[in-house]
Chain A
Amino acid sequence: MPRPYLPEAFRDLEPWLAWSLATERERSAKRQSSTMEELKAFYDVMLARMEAILPYLEQFPPDNIPPQTERLFYLTLSLAEIAPAAELYDQPGVVDGFDVSRFRPGSE
């Protein structure tokens, strides 16, 4: 992976690169295997930066994304993945939910 890993303005997020995951399957598995403290820490850091990240991402059409931008974009997809845990359920998985690993994404 060539340095820098993230676009210059967002290099403060590099400690969170483990969340830069390309597929729903990986993001979901990481959500389910994290503690609530870990999810909340990632949530807080990302939420504080989203007001800057989204206008940045708005400049990029979905095709031919530079690798640094793509990693940042995947971080936002992980935020989308864990948002229900942090905002609605207060636990990693859906409360009284079906096992998400049985819910197989069709396009990945």
Chain B
Amino acid sequence: MATVETTTPTAYGGKWHGHYPELGTGPLPLEVFTSVEQFALEREHIFRKVWLNVCRIEQLSKPGDYFVKDIGVCNTSVIVVRGKDGQIRAFHNICSHRGNKVVWDQHGNGSGFICKFHGWMYGLDGTLKFVPDEKRFFDLKKDCLGLTPVHVDVWEGFVFINIDPNPQETLQEYLGELATELAGYPFAESSATAFSWRAEVKANWKIVKDSFQEVYHVGCLHKRSLPDAFVSSDNPYTHMLDMKLFPRHGRASLFGNAAHQPSPVQALSYKHGSILVRSGFSENTLPVGVNPTRSTDWSFELHVIFPTFFVVVSEGTYFTHQFWPLAVDRTIWESTTYFPTATNLAQRFSQEYSRIIFRDIFLEDARTVEETQSVLSSGAKKEFLLQDYELLVRHSHNVVLNMIRGSDGKTIGRAV
């Protein structure tokens, strides 16, 4: 097998943290997961300021297609819609008359939006088209009473919105080098089929997020579901092949055991396309940000887009996580697995097996994050400890801290 730690630095006793000495190696204060004040600061300084992924472009394929996303952490609901002119636009989902939520369903297709309360009508471009009994109003300036626009942009088919009326950066600037490194990944072809789950978990958004930012837990928590897919005798603790921190985002290259022995149904699934751990990969087709070490023991590339969007890519398939904070101890978790269009029913069976295995693994994670949150307020512990392969966890907490303190979070760069 290939060497696991290909670019291990010499600082910090040969640990990954040596690349990022500014992060330190100290403990993490536990109160960031339980403090209501902290949650309010995160709402104000992070979620109301950054670009947030709300859907895929395939969900808005035709003019008039719309998608509604309730964003509890920003105290709003957003309509994302493709106009007659093909443009994607986004609006706060609130009527200009007396504040009713205009669209109540989650998605659909139409020629405009009609408020259910008094029937005010808006076009797909957000303009106010019609007011019932308009003459009884006083100096109504319809031109100024459209739906309130929200900034929206698209990257590789992922639709992002920004609640800030004056975003400090474009989406491209926000994604930065992470986007550059992923350019060329066939998201469009790989996104033809999407299966999603949604759950409300009783845990702080960072507890949920952090559980997906490291794979140190795989050999323990997932010992039944993943007995040998991501661990091997040479790599029993699922050490990552590579890690890289961007100013706010992070990337990690995940080890896969090419000698993994599939279970009987898994083996049938593998024969028809959908493979959890591949042996070998098509090196030339992958962008530099996917399996950057070109290891034969590679499984997935984990891209963590700050604050709460995960794009986890393999060859031909990928999945995403999106976490939506509701309160300091409640989070909506949305997970979607994407596949290319199945050409026959045997391939669909193969896809089904893959996604069900993922679901059952996620159920192990979800239980754990709730059990964790349930004892955090005990006062028994004040700090969390992080090991070298929990670097992405450390980094994202640092970004949260910096954004709350008022800097733009851009304090981290990979030491050369």
| Chain A interface residues (CB < 8 Å from chain B) | 24, 47, 50-51, 54-55, 57-62, 65, 69, 73, 76-77, 79-81, 83-84, 86-89, 94-98, 100, 102-107
Q: Chain B residues near A105 (CB, 8 Å)?
A: 195-197
Determine how close the nearest CB of chain B comes to the CB of A40; give it in whole angstroms.
Answer: 13
Across the interface, do A62 and B265 meet the contact criterion of CB distance under 8 Å? no
Across the interface, do A83 and B363 meet the contact criterion of CB distance under 8 Å? no
Residues 326-354 of B contacting A (Cβ, < 8 Å): 334, 336, 341-349, 352-353
B130 on interface, CB distance cutoff 8 Å: no
Across the interface, do A83 and B334 meet the contact criterion of CB distance under 8 Å? no
A83–B270 CA distance with the chains assembled, in angstroms:
14
B271 on interface, CB distance cutoff 8 Å: yes
Across the interface, do A58 and B272 meet the contact criterion of CB distance under 8 Å? yes
Residues 152-210 of B contacting A (Cβ, < 8 Å): 194-201
- A-B pairs with the 7 shortest C-beta distances? A106-B196, A98-B366, A83-B265, A57-B345, A97-B363, A80-B353, A87-B263
Q: Chain A residues near B271 (CB, 8 Å)?
A: 54
Given contacts A62-B348, A69-B345, contact A103 B225 (CB under 8 A): no
Interface bits B221-235 vs A (CB < 8 Å: 1, else 0): 000110100000000
* A87: nearest chain-B partner, CB-CB: B263
Interface bits B252-285 vs A (CB < 8 Å: 1, else 0): 0000000000011110110110000000000000
Across the interface, do B265 and A59 meet the contact criterion of CB distance under 8 Å? no
A81–B199 CA distance with the chains assembled, in angstroms:
19
A28–B320 CA distance with the chains assembled, in angstroms:
22
Q: Chain B residues near A102 (CB, 8 Å)?
A: 199-200
B359 on interface, CB distance cutoff 8 Å: yes
B70 on interface, CB distance cutoff 8 Å: no
- CB-based A-B contact count at 8 angstroms: 127
Across the interface, do B272 and A73 meet the contact criterion of CB distance under 8 Å? no
Q: Chain B residues near A65 (CB, 8 Å)?
A: 345
Q: Chain B residues near A100 (CB, 8 Å)?
A: 359, 363
Q: Chain B residues near A87 (CB, 8 Å)?
A: 263-266
A102–B227 CA distance with the chains assembled, in angstroms:
26
Q: Chain B residues near A57 (CB, 8 Å)?
A: 344-346, 349
B356 on interface, CB distance cutoff 8 Å: yes
Contact partner, B199, options A47, A95, A96, A103, Cβ 8 Å: A103
| Chain B interface residues (CB < 8 Å from chain A) | 194-201, 224-225, 227, 263-266, 268-269, 271-272, 334, 336, 341-349, 352-353, 356-357, 359-360, 362-367, 370
* A43: nearest chain-B partner, CB-CB: B265
Contact partner, A73, options B196, B197, B348, Cβ 8 Å: B348
* A100: nearest chain-B partner, CB-CB: B363
Contact partner, B345, options A50, A73, A79, Cβ 8 Å: A73
Given contacts A59-B344, A83-B356, contact A107 B195 (CB under 8 A): yes
Determine how close the nearest CB of chain A comes to the CB of B230; give it in whole angstroms.
Answer: 14
Q: Chain A residues near B269 (CB, 8 Å)?
A: 80
Q: Chain A residues near B194 (CB, 8 Å)?
A: 107
* A83: nearest chain-B partner, CB-CB: B265
Across the interface, do B196 and A107 meet the contact criterion of CB distance under 8 Å? yes
Q: Chain B residues near A104 (CB, 8 Å)?
A: 197-199
Determine how close the nearest CB of chain B comes to the CB of A95; give it in whole angstroms.
Answer: 6
Q: Chain A residues near B343 (CB, 8 Å)?
A: 61-62
Across the interface, do A80 and B349 meet the contact criterion of CB distance under 8 Å? yes
Across the interface, do A81 and B364 meet the contact criterion of CB distance under 8 Å? no
Can you sample 15 A-B contacts with CB below 8 Å? A24-B195, A47-B264, A54-B271, A57-B349, A61-B345, A76-B349, A77-B352, A79-B265, A80-B265, A83-B357, A94-B360, A97-B366, A103-B362, A106-B197, A107-B195
Given contacts A54-B268, A83-B356, A106-B336, contact A94 B346 (CB under 8 A): no
Interface centre among A61, A69, A84, A102 (most CB of B within 10 A): A84
Determine how close the nearest CB of chain B comes to the CB of A90; give it in whole angstroms.
Answer: 9
Q: Chain A residues near B195 (CB, 8 Å)?
A: 24, 105-107
Across the interface, do A84 and B225 meet the contact criterion of CB distance under 8 Å? yes
* A73: nearest chain-B partner, CB-CB: B345
Determine how close the nearest CB of chain B comes to the CB of A102; give it in whole angstroms.
Answer: 5
* B363: nearest chain-A partner, CB-CB: A97
Q: Chain B residues near A60 (CB, 8 Å)?
A: 344-345
Known: A50-B265, A89-B225. 8 other contacts (CB 8 A): A57-B344, A57-B346, A77-B352, A84-B225, A88-B360, A100-B359, A103-B363, A106-B196
A69–B345 CA distance with the chains assembled, in angstroms:
9
Q: Chain A residues near B349 (CB, 8 Å)?
A: 54, 57, 73, 76-77, 79-80
